[in-house]
């Protein structure tokens, strides 16, 4: 309960910070909407020239992209503080985090949610529900499984961000790793099936961005076997477990050298 209260406080502080400069908030908000909108427009235009891509219809391709944005934006909203972790380590400010009676990993992950993404997320959720309702017509079981898969994707995202934090403690470098993760996830604006092997296998089972972004959409379409659903959850749990192990290992390596 205390953890939850502190996260709410972090969120309130972050929201106040965003609202302190409304024009900048609106500028970034508008830019993000334009970015998503232009790619959606491209997908719609593409299907003026072709009937399907790898057997996927226009509506399914739109859903893949919307679900990619749904998961990606939620992860960015929640874990934005990871992007500010390096200065904390380099300056020695992480000492203050460690001395407080609050979990340093929760502080480092959830310390500054990005509320510009929150506004964008609401629009993405509304659009996803509209497209799913109008064109996909999933069953209740598919919807429940889809939501479970989304939570699983966020667990994998959390695992990756924890890994980045751990590496940050050991190497003092975070920025490029996070950006490479962002670029890897951006590959999933299209379904992982479109990549040829071995890239497809790497993106599914080594760096499980395929499980994170493509599989939830496929569950919603009823195109994913139950075996792969189980494999996805195993990956989710395992990646979180291993990243936490690595986090504890990296904490033991922390030398507070900059303070």
Q: How far apart are CA 4 and CA 228, in angstroms?
A: 33
Least distance CB 19 / another protein (angstroms): 15
Q: Who's near 142: CB < 8 A, 6+ residues apart?
A: 219, 220, 221, 222
Give min distance, CB of 168 to another protein, in A: 15
Cα-based torsion angle of the residue sequence 243, 115, 104, 167 in order, rounded to the nearest 10 degrees: 40
Q: How far is the CB of 243 from another protein (least distance, A)?
A: 21
| Interacting residues toward another protein by CB under 8 A | 21, 23-24, 27-28, 30-32, 34-35, 38-39, 42, 45-46, 49-50, 52-54, 176, 179-180, 183-184, 186-187, 189-190, 194-196, 199
How far is residue 259's CA from residue 91's CA, in Å, rounded to a whole number? 6
Nearest residue (CB) to another protein, 36 versus 85: 36
Closer residue to another protein in complex, CB, 32/80? 32
Residue 94, Cβ density class (10 Å: 0-12 exposed, 13-18 middle, ≥19 buried): buried
* Smallest separation, CB 173 to another protein (Å): 8
Task: Indicate the residue among 10 and 39 with the shorter CB distance to another protein.
Answer: 39
Task: Closer to another protein by CB, 195 or 235: give it.
Answer: 195
Contact 174, 79 (CB under 8 A): no
């Amino acid at each position: 309960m205390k953890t939850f209260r502190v996260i709410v406080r972090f969120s309130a502080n972050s929201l106040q910070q965003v609202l302190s400069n409304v024009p900048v908030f609106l500028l970034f908000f508008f830019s993000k909407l334009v970015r998503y909108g232009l790619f959606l427009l491209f997908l719609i235009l593409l299907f003026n020239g072709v009937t399907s891509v790898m057997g996927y219809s226009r509506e399914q391709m739109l859903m893949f992209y919307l679900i990619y944005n749904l998961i990606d934006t939620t992860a960015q909203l929640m874990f934005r503080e990871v992007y500010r972790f390096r200065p904390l380590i380099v300056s020695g400010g992480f000492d203050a985090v460690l001395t407080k009676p609050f979990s340093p990993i929760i502080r480092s992950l959830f310390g500054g949610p990005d509320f510009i993404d929150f506004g964008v997320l609401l629009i993405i959720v509304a659009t996803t529900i509209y497209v799913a309702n109008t064109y996909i017509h999933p069953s209740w079981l598919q919807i429940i499984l889809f939501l479970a898969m989304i939570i699983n994707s966020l667990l994998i995202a959390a695992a990756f961000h924890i890994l980045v934090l751990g590496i940050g403690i050991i190497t003092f470098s975070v920025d490029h790793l996070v950006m490479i993760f962002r670029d890897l996830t951006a590959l999933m604006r299209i379904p992982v099936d479109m990549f040829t092997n071995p890239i497809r296998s790497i993106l599914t089972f080594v760096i499980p961005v395929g499980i994170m972004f493509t599989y939830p959409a496929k569950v919603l379409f009823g195109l994913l076997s139950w075996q792969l659903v189980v494999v996805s959850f195993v990956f989710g749990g395992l990646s979180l477990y291993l990243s936490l192990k690595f986090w504890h290992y990296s904490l033991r390596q922390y030398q507070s050298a900059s303070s």
